[in-house]
Structure 1
């Protein structure tokens, strides 16, 4: 039972965090030795609207768990890793405002714990638990690698294009591994695909290499997510 209360508290802190910090529009270009103005790895601004859906769904999840699933063993197994993601995640916007490298380490921690939670999530209560966790973990898969790409370019370790290509490939590797391990989570693939589409839109007419890779990655993720959905149908062969 204590796990569900802890998850509710962590979720509340996470949901309140945007109201306690300045609006985050990406790392400040001047935060790096090599200024990062519209880096190729970063999705178009509209893509970040997905956070609205994530916040609402996580809030509904926490409320449902608190009201209806306090003693459910399946929920308790998910609660620990998800709390370890959302709790520290409540500080991410604040940290990102002044320490991009620390923020990158933190978001990878959030991602690791979110994936741990997703892999534990039972199919029961799919729309109340597995689906919101999948959407959150999918977006973090993209966001963590975007953060890494900006840092790599910002410190001159790779060119903007090189950082984008490397980090898109890394994100795809994680995404495909998750979809292979847990194929019936289309929300995870949808979030990763949404980010890849945003990257493609932002690079259209500017960076052919990143645009092409993002679109190819989107196609592969969509195909694998669709295959997982098909296999999960009761009447599938």
Structure 2
């Protein structure tokens, strides 16, 4: 039940986010690692059991536990919830953002297809967008910058989602509302516009350690905008060298 436990979870299962967080000072890591470990736990739940009811119960446990923390209750010892509760108590966070993030994973539980593009955008906002918004609040971004952080996270979420499309299809999912190159190209272009719109907003500077977790999104989205066939072909993954190099440069230059 420590920050180190949360960090190790990220190192094993979400290495890009782990490395981005490691660029931050220790006090910032202590805020972000529990949040990201929570996100990892919730995101993985629909994939670790073939029984939707079991996943539902675990998701509801997280909903109830987070609600109890916001009420001021002290949770039973838990490797992720305990440090996360300490972070929640120390910052002016919004329970609704946690709630919507968890609820969005119910769609994954039942393999519900996206029948319209706005549904996918909403899913990305509720998951990746809200995760970025929560992190931004933790790091001191004021109310005027939260929407920008959420939009930035949503756009980055699309990049990660498009990376996962081949795997989702292999698991029998229908990840895209319209499985066409025109659709993914249009979404990639829209996401790039969202990144551009929010890349120089001074109000977001306190959230740089969180924004760095999305630093791989732009080259991925550019590749899709140029050659959308790469999504279905599984040709979007970047080498470790290029990913780490981009993270290092962005961290040194203080850009996102």
Shorter-chain TM range is: 0.3 to 0.5
The normalised TM-score by structure 2 is 0.42
Q: Which gives a bigger RCO, structure 1 or 2 (Cα 8 Å, sep 6+)?
A: 1
